[in-house]
Amino acid sequence: MKNSNKAAHFLQIWREDYVYQTLMSAAVSFGCTALFALYNGYLGLRHESTWHISISIFYLLLMIVRGIVLLTEKRNRTRLESEQNHCRRRTFLISSILLLMMDLALVLPISMMVVLDKPVSMGLIPAIAMATYTTWKITMACVHIGRQRHKSRGNILVTELRTVNFIDALVAILTLQNTLIMVERAKTEENVMLPLSAVSSAVIYVMIVFITVQMLRKGFRQRSTSAR
């Protein structure tokens, strides 16, 4: 009976408290990101793969961003509201630097994917499964990007988490499209694949940088307003 009451209470909080929902989702994503970072790092060291090592660095930075945000919000439970806002602004400043480093970390793996130099050992069926997961991921990221504007309660870190999720989804699309290109590479002329990979990769990367800059601008504007 107690377990059922706890489950019902948890579901009620999940539905009604958007900030709590965001933090719980970020905790799950933190675990998944850690696994991605370790897995790609292992492949990079074992096979001396520059691509896997560089993408592992991206996921490591992504994990750190999510981790410091979650740690700040956990510690904020015992702090006064004024102190909470101060800690959020400080965490946002640190994570902003990490976000810019994340964008820079993507330059190498993206440039390798553009010239079709990404190692792949994936068949068509796993690639389709990956496409399904990526579609779900980008759909949820888009939905929450819109919702967080009205439900984040002015919490700058909630906005940042949802933006990070969207960037993560764009990277998943980038990896997926190049995986599919590599899977079908044998059936298609390379001189057709190279321009397609270059243009689509460039567009997605520009979107990632633009989203990062826009988020930083809004965050610093909100940070300066809150500080007054």
pLDDT at residue 63 greater than cutoff 90: yes
Q: In residues, how long is the chain? A: 228
Residue 138: its pLDDT value, please? 81
The contacts of residue 22 (CB under 8 Å, 6+ apart) are: 144, 148, 152, 158, 161, 162
Predicted TM-score (pTM) of this structure: 0.82
DSSP three-state, residue 38: helix
Residue 60 confidence class, pLDDT cut points 50, 70, 90: very high
Residue 65 confidence class, pLDDT cut points 50, 70, 90: very high
Report the C-alpha dihedral over residues 54, 56, 62, 63, rounded to 10 degrees. -160
Average pLDDT, the chain: 79
Tokens encoding 150: 């009205």
DSSP three-state, residue 86: helix
Tokens encoding 166: 């969207």
Q: 227, 190 in Cβ contact below 8 A?
A: no
Closest by Cα among 97, 91, 101 to 70: 91
pLDDT at residue 9 greater than cutoff 60: no
pLDDT at residue 104 greater than cutoff 80: yes
Residue range 118-133: average pLDDT?
A: 66
Residue 123 confidence class, pLDDT cut points 50, 70, 90: low
Element (H, E) at 6: helix 2-16
Residue labelled with tokens 């006064």: 80
Other CB atoms within 10 Å distance of the CB of residue 205: 19
Residue 188: its pLDDT value, please? 55
Q: 174, 150 in Cβ contact below 8 A?
A: no
Q: How far apart are CA 70 and CA 19, in angstroms?
A: 11
Q: 108, 129 in Cβ contact below 8 A?
A: no
Q: How far apart are CA 9 and CA 1, in angstroms?
A: 12
Residue 61 confidence class, pLDDT cut points 50, 70, 90: very high
Q: How far apart are CA 91 and CA 112, in angstroms?
A: 33
Distances (CA, A) of 172 to 19, 132, 189, 221: 25, 11, 25, 29
Residue 57 confidence class, pLDDT cut points 50, 70, 90: very high
| pLDDT tens digits, one per residue of 155-193 | 888 888 888 988 988 888 887 777 777 666 655 555 666
| pLDDT tens digits, one per residue of 86-102 | 898 889 989 988 999 99
Other CB atoms within 10 Å distance of the CB of residue 43: 18
Residue 67: its pLDDT value, please? 93
Residue 80 confidence class, pLDDT cut points 50, 70, 90: confident
The contacts of residue 126 (CB under 8 Å, 6+ apart) are: none
